[in-house]
Amino acid sequence: MTQATPPAQTAPAPAKRATFTNIAAAALLAGSAGAAWLMLAPNGHQVTEDAYVEGNVVQVTPQLSGSVTEIGADNTDYVQAGQVLVQLNEVDAKLALERAEAQLSKAVRQVRAQFANASQGRANVTLRAADLARATADLARRKALAHSGAVSGEDIEHAEDAVKTARAALTVAEQQLAGTSALVDQTSISNHPDVQAASSQLRDAYVASARTTLRAPVSGLVAKRNVQLGQRVAPGAALMSIVPPEQMWVNANFKESQLRDIRIGQPVVLSADVYGKEVRYTGRVIGQDAGTGNAFSLLPAQNATGNWIKVVQRVPIRIALDAKELAAHPLKLGLSMHVSVDTADHSGAVATSTATRRAAYKTGVFEHELEQADQLVQRIIAANAGGAVPPAARPAARPAALALVD
């Protein structure tokens, strides 16, 4: 009697072994990632290496067209605010300034002549009024003697004609005075409309001449010099850039899942790859951008069409750096940073909701352009005003002699 042999056990299929291997590898990878996250982001901290140095890039641009005759700085040079960077050909601007100066001098002298004509007109009215008073008195005396026969009727007619002539001459003088006074009434040489128009043209020419010299609006390092000698530049063209080394901050791009505990004002510890972990920077969170980086990209993603795969988004967090630490270890734009935010304090706001008073960016390099132009205008007016500037002209009062004929 033969015994039945048990069925042979079949070995696991290769596909099943591969599946078990993949699952084990995935579990191991997940555990490693979790352990790494716990090490890099301990409790109460949010960490990212997706952080970069940013800062202000101040462009140097001309305000008028011209040909470049001089370049005063090159890339990597440190320049002070007000230092000459680019000089444009100033021949045309100087000629225009000379024409404007001559026009202002001419306007001042013409206004002086108008004031003189007004004074002459007032004197002429007084003279004609005296002639009329004399003719009126002569006529009165002849009429008084007419009844005695000492004066003929013809003499009386001549006297009456003389009165009419004197009265007409007075009217002409008064009209001429009104015309000349209309040009100078309630004005002086300095505030006369003709002088003010010429002064405005001179200010324009002076400012245009001054703007042929391009000065550094801020102190900093020169970068991106795009201008060459002899180049014809247009208004608004970027000739070079200046990067103030003290005006830098860090934009840390945190994942949207990390934003829950981040608040404005929380302390931050940073390190730069250029110096290594031995050099530490301290900072603080000062704000969050209004959207993710993808939302402000040139071509935002269109997730409403086709197949969709969720991608974790990142939001830029702005971090201010300590000025003393930044001066001791300067940073460059675009450098990579390691950022760790201490999220233990939740008293701050999640995002800025009120107007903040930060130090405004300002330059005083161009403040004195118009002031210097005003000084030039005053010098030219004083040089051509012929001494004291006459007071504002007023309409002439009617001479007292006319009371005899009114």
- Each residue's pLDDT tens digit, 259-282: 898 999 999 999 999 999 899 999
Is the model's pLDDT at 2 over the cut of 90? no
CA distance 99 to 94: 9
Is the model's pLDDT at 396 over the cut of 50? no
| Chain segment 191-214, per-residue pLDDT in tens | 999 999 999 999 999 999 999 999
SS3 at position 386: coil
The arithmetic mean of pLDDT across residues 364-368, rounded, is 86
* Exposed e or buried b per residue across 190-205, where buried means at least 16 C-beta atoms within 10 angstroms of its C-beta: bebebbeebbebbbeb
Is the model's pLDDT at 258 over the cut of 50? yes
| Chain segment 46-72, per-residue pLDDT in tens | 999 999 999 999 999 999 999 999 999
The residues spanned by each domain of the chain are: 101-187+369-393
Q: Are 161 and 202 in contact (CB under 8 A)?
A: no
Helix, strand, coil shares of the chain as percentages rounded to 5?
40, 20, 40
Identify which of 87, 78, 74 has the alpha carbon closest to the alpha carbon of residue 240: 74
SS3 at position 70: strand
CA distance 113 to 71: 48
CA distance 183 to 173: 16
CA distance 9 to 18: 20
The arithmetic mean of pLDDT across residues 76-105, rounded, is 95
The arithmetic mean of pLDDT across residues 209-228, rounded, is 95
CA distance 120 to 115: 9
CA 12 to chain centre: 79
Identify which of 49, 30, 47 has the alpha carbon closest to the alpha carbon of residue 257: 47
pLDDT band at 309 (very low <50, low <70, confident <90, very high): confident
Identify which of 161, 176, 165, 163 has the alpha carbon closest to the alpha carbon of residue 124: 176
pLDDT at position 150 is 73
The arithmetic mean of pLDDT across residues 162-178, rounded, is 91
Is the model's pLDDT at 404 over the cut of 50? no
Average pLDDT along the chain = 84
pLDDT band at 346 (very low <50, low <70, confident <90, very high): confident
